[in-house]
Amino acid sequence: MSDTLDNSPLADTKKMLRTIDKRPSRKEAEEAVRTLLRWAGEDPEREGLLDTPARVAKAYGELFSGYWDDESAILGRTFEEVAGYNDMVVVRDIAFHSHCEHHMVPIIGKAHVGYLPDGRVLGLSKIARVVEMFARRLQTQESITAQVAHTIQDQLQPRGVAVLIEAEHMCMAMRGIRKQGSTTLTSTYTGEFKDDPEQQAQFQTYIRNQNS
Ligand SMILES: [Zn+2]
């Protein structure tokens, strides 16, 4: 379990977005894929690979589209006001695919997100979109967990946010130590979730009920 308490993951996000000004051209990206193919031992000129650089560049555009999204655009400035509902809202089992920043190999997981409303709530699909935005970047599991929690905390300003992510790292499953099927858990709690172990326990109960 890890618990990042400050806002540094979001500061990193802003720093990263500035580097996008120097984005290489599509042609340069395709040339880089040809270089990697040669490095792996392939002949990029053989027939089956002729279109591969273009396909890989296009796939990267989708897999890493999260660099071009913006949390305030996704969450918007308009939240639903709810009179009298102050209990926990939990969205469980948000499936996501990401890529580890160390090897650029897939991370496959599920996110569980809860918050304690302070008079207003988010559209439920928006929570999944926040997870997807951060998943479609190069990540560590610790960072994505903290980024989702702090983004919802900053934008919605609820009484607290809880994020628990369980994921399998293909870089562990496919190479090196080859630990297949092992799952890593990370969590971040803000506000009342951080201060009140009973709220954390309640959140974990909701998740367990789903998985049993
Ligand atoms: Zn890795």
Query: Is 101 a known active-site residue?
Result: yes
Please give the tally of structural domains in the chain.
1
Domain for residue 167, yes or no?
A: yes
Determine the Cα–Cα distance for residues 121 and 158; give it in Å rounded to an integer.
Answer: 8
Q: State the catalytic residue, choosing from 97, 103, 168, 202.
A: 103
3-state helix, strand, coil in the chain (%, to 5): 50, 20, 30
In a domain, 175, yes or no: yes
Residue 115 lies in a domain: yes
- The boundaries of the domain holding residue 77 are 8-14+65-211
Q: Is residue 78 part of a domain?
A: yes
In a domain, 116, yes or no: yes
Q: Which of the following is catalytic: 139, 141, 147, 199?
A: 141
Residue 60 in domain: no
- Centre of ligand 1 to C-alpha 39, Å, is 19
Question: pLDDT tens across 93-146, in order?
Answer: 999 999 999 999 999 999 999 999 998 888 888 999 999 999 999 999 999 999
CATH code of the domain covering residue 109: 3.30.1130.10
CA of 117 to the centre of ligand 1 (A): 35
Distance 101 CA to ligand 1 centre (A): 6
User: Quick check: is 207 in a domain?
Assistant: yes
What pLDDT was estimated at residue 7? 45
Q: Is 80 exposed, middle or buried (0-12, 13-18, 19+ CB in 10 A)?
A: exposed
Confirm whether 102 is a catalytic residue. yes
Spacing, Cα 180 to ligand 1 middle (Å): 14
pLDDT number for residue 16: 58
Output the CA 164–ligand 1 centroid distance in Å.
Answer: 20
Q: In the numeric block, which tokens belong to residue 145?
A: 């967990």
Distance 162 CA to ligand 1 centre (A): 25
The alpha-helical segments, DSSP class H, found in 64-169 are 71-75, 124-135, 141-156
Mean per-residue pLDDT pooled into runs of 10, the chain (212 residues): 46 56 90 98 97 98 93 77 84 97 96 94 90 97 97 94 96 73 93 96 88 49
Token reading at 117: 């409303």
- C-alpha 3/C-alpha 142 separation (Å) is 8
Asked if 131 contacts 113 with a C-beta cutoff of 8 angstroms, the reply is yes
- Annotated catalytic residue, options 71, 100, 132, 155: 100
Instruction: State yes or no: is 112 an active-site residue.
Output: no
**Residue 43 located in a structural domain:** no
Catalytic: 103? yes
Q: Which of 80, 101, 180, 210 is catalytic?
A: 101
pTM of the entire predicted model: 0.86
Residue 132 annotated among the catalytic residues of the structure: no
Please report the pLDDT score of residue 195 as a whole number: 95
